[in-house]
C-alpha cells in the first residue's frame, strides 16, 4: 500500500501553530514511508471563508519547506483540490446513501429538534432524534415541502452495537452506535457538510492515513459509517494530542491572545516581534501578527527548520535525550508509535532556544543571506545590494555573535547603515555619558585626535590605543568608553567597542564623534 496523507486547511483564518504541527506529522509520515502528502482546501463553509486567507496558508507551507505532492498550485490526478469545486461528487454520494437507506430526507425545523432535545434532558435521558419528520417516500417529501418545510439529508445511524476502532496513536477505541446522532450531511440549500465531503475526498484521493487532531476523534464513527455505506475502505486513523496553551493543558487558540499575554515569555515573544515590525515599518494586523500564527515567525526572521524542530517535539519524542534533528533526520526517525497521548504545552522560551541554537550554527554566508532582506525591507540597503554589503554584514554578524537570535535582530545594528548626519541621538542616552561628567567632551576630543593619528584602524590597534590613553590620563575606562559608544552609535549598549569602530571605519567614526561633540 502506498502511504498517502493529507492536510485540509480551511480558509476561514490564518495558518495556526497547532495546524502546522498536524500538517508536519502528516508530511513526515508520508515522506518517511516513501509516500505522498496531499494538500486540499476545505472551503465548504462559504459563509466563513476568507478570500485573503488562502494564499498566506500556501505561502506559509512554502516558507516552511513543506512541499505537497498534489493540491493547489501543483495539480494532480485527483483534481480539483478545492472542496467547493467537488459538489457533483458529494451529490452522487448523497444520492447513493439515500438509495441504500443509509440516509434520509428530514423536514424537522430547528425548534422541533430543540424541543425533543430539551424533553430528553428534562427526563434525564440521552437525546436521540425521533425521525418524526423523516420523509420515507418522494410523495411524503412533497407533502412536507407543501407545508413550507425545508429538507436536509441526515445519516440513518445504527442504534445498536458498537464500532471498535484501532487508532494508531490511542489504541483501541470503542463507540456505541446508539450514542451517535443522525448527523446532517446536506443542508437545505444543497451544500454538503464536512463529514460527507472529507470521506468522499479521502476515498477519491486514495488517502491511506488520516492523521489529525484529537478533537476529530468523535467524528470517526460517522465518517467510518459513511465510508462503509459507500463501499469504501476507511483510511487508518491517528488522533494527535492538541497543542496546549503556555503553562496549561487547555488547547492553544489564536483567539485568546490577551490571555496568553499574561504569560511573561509569550508577552516577550510578541514584544520582540513588534519591535522588529516597527523597525520594518510594517502595518501590524492584530489578527495575523500573533505568535499563534505561523506568519508571525516568518515576518520577524525565524528559521523554518528551527520552528519545525520545536513543533516536532510537541507530542512526539525519539527518546528522553535527543532534541535536535535535521530535516532529513526528522523524516527518517518519525513514527506514529512514538506520538504521545497527552497534550504538550507551547513554550515560547523553549522555541527561542531552538531558534537561537539554529541561528548560531548557521554558516556565516547563510546567516548573511537570511538577514539581508530585513535591511533591504527597512530601506537601509539597496536591491541589488552594493558589493561591499556581504563583507560588512559578515563583520557585523561575527561581532554581534549570539545577539542576533532571529534575522530581524539585525535591525538593532542599523546605526552602521544610517548616514552620520541622520544617526539618532536620544536625549536620555546622551545626557549621562556626554553631558553630565565635566570632562567627558574634553576627554573625547583628546581621544579623537589619537584615533585620527592611528596607522591601523583594526580592533587590536584600537584597543591598544584606548588602554594607552586611559593609562596616560590616569582615568577609569568607563570615563571615556561610554561617551565614545554613544558618540559613534547613538546607543548606550552594543557589541565590542573596538569591533564597532573598525566596522564603521576611521572617517565615519571621526565624523560621528565630531557631531556628538556639538550636542
d(CA 203, CA 76): 15
Other Cβ atoms closer than 10 A to 286? 7
d(CA 138, CA 151): 12
The answer to whether 492 and 433 have CB atoms below 8 angstroms apart is yes
Which residues face 339 on adjacent strands? Answer: 316
The answer to whether 277 and 284 have CB atoms below 8 angstroms apart is yes
Annotated active-site residue 476? The verdict is no
Which residues face 70 on adjacent strands? Answer: 38
Q: What is the DSSP string of 217-252?
A: GGGHHHHHHHHHHTT-PPPEEEEEPPEEPTTSSSBP
The answer to whether 8 and 198 have CB atoms below 8 angstroms apart is yes
- Residue 80, preceding peptide bond in cis (omega within 30° of 0): yes
Q: Which of 89, 156, 254, 270 is catalytic?
A: 254
- Which cell is 206 given? 486514495
- Which cell is 232 given? 469504501
Cα separation values, 364 from 185, 387, 401, Å: 56, 17, 11
d(CA 170, CA 217): 10
d(CA 463, CA 499): 9
d(CA 488, CA 395): 17
Q: Which of 292, 305, 301, 300 is nearest to 266 (CA)?
A: 292
Instruction: Indicate the burial class of 46 (C-beta count within 10 angstroms; 0-12, 13-18, 19 or more).
Output: exposed
State how beta strands 209-213 and 236-240 pair.
parallel
* Catalytic site positions: 254
Amino acid at each position: 500500500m502506498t502511504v498517502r496523507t493529507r492536510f485540509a486547511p480551511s480558509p476561514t483564518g490564518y495558518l495556526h501553530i497547532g495546524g502546522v504541527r498536524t500538517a508536519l506529522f502528516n508530511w513526515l509520515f508520508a515522506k518517511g514511508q516513501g509516500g505522498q502528502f496531499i494538500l486540499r482546501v476545505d472551503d465548504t463553509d462559504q459563509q466563513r471563508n476568507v478570500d485573503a486567507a488562502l494564499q498566506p496558508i500556501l505561502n506559509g507551507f512554502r516558507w516552511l519547506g513543506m512541499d505537497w505532492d498534489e493540491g493547489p498550485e501543483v495539480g494532480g490526478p485527483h483534481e480539483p483540490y478545492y472542496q467547493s469545486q467537488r459538489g457533483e461528487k458529494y451529490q452522487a454520494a448523497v444520492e447513493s446513501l439515500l438509495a441504500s437507506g443509509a440516509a434520509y430526507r428530514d423536514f424537522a425545523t430547528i425548534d422541533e429538534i430543540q424541543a425533543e432535545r430539551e424533553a430528553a434532558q428534562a427526563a434525564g435521558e440521552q437525546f436521540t432524534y425521533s425521525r418524526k419528520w423523516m420523509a420515507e417516500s418522494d410523495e411524503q417529501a412533497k407533502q412536507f415541502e407543501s407545508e413550507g418545510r425545508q429538507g436536509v439529508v441526515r445519516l440513518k445511524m445504527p442504534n445498536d452495537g458498537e464500532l471498535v476502532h484501532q487508532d494508531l496513536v490511542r489504541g483501541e477505541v470503542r463507540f456505541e452506535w446508539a450514542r451517535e446522532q443522525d448527523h446532517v450531511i446536506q443542508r437545505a440549500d444543497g451544500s454538503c457538510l464536512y463529514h460527507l465531503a472529507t470521506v468522499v475526498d479521502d476515498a477519491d484521493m486514495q488517502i491511506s492515513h488520516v492523521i489529525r487532531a484529537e478533537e476529530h476523534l468523535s467524528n470517526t464513527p460517522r465518517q467510518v459509517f459513511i465510508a462503509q455505506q459507500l463501499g469504501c475502505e476507511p483510511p487508518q486513523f491517528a488522533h494527535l494530542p492538541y497543542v496546549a496553551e503556555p503553562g496549561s493543558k487547555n488547547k492553544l487558540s489564536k483567539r485568546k491572545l490577551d490571555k496568553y499575554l499574561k504569560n511573561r515569555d509569550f508577552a516577550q515573544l510578541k514584544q520582540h516581534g513588534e519591535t522588529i515590525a516597527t523597525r520594518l515599518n510594517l502595518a501590524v494586523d492584530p489578527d495575523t501578527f500573533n505568535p499563534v500564527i505561523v506568519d508571525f515567525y516568518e515576518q520577524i526572521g525565524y528559521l523554518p527548520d528551527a520552528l519545525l524542530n520545536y513543533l516536532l517535539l510537541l507530542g512526539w519524542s525519539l527518546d528522553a535525550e535527543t532534541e535536535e534533528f535535521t530535516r532529513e533526520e526528522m523524516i527518517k526517525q518519525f513514527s506514529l508509535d512514538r506520538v504521545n497521548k497527552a497534550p504538550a504545552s507551547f513554550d515560547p522560551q523553549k522555541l527561542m532556544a531552538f531558534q537561537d541554537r539554529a541561528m548560531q550554527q548557521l554558516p556565516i554566508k547563510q546567516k548573511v543571506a537570511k538577514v539581508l532582506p530585513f535591511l533591504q525591507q527597512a530601506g537601509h540597503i539597496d536591491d541589488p545590494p552594493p558589493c561591499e554589503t556581504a563583507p560588512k554584514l559578515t563583520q557585523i554578524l561575527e561581532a554581534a555573535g549570539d545577539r542576533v537570535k532571529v534575522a530581524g535582530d539585525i535591525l538593532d545594528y542599523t546605526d552602521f547603515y544610517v548616514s552620520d548626519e541622520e544617526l539618532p541621538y536620544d536625549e536620555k542616552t546622551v545626557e549621562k555619558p556626554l553631558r553630565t561628567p565635566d570632562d567627558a567632551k574634553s576627554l573625547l576630543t583628546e581621544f579623537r585626535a589619537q584615533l585620527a593619528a592611528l596607522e591601523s584602524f583594526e580592533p587590536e590597534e584600537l584597543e591598544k590605543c584606548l588602554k594607552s590613553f586611559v593609562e596616560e590620563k590616569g582615568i577609569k575606562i568607563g570615563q571615556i568608553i561610554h561617551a565614545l559608544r554613544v558618540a559613534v552609535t547613538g546607543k548606550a549598549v552594543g557589541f565590542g567597542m573596538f569591533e564597532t569602530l573598525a566596522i564603521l571605519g576611521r572617517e565615519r567614526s571621526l565624523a560621528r564623534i565630531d557631531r556628538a561633540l556639538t550636542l
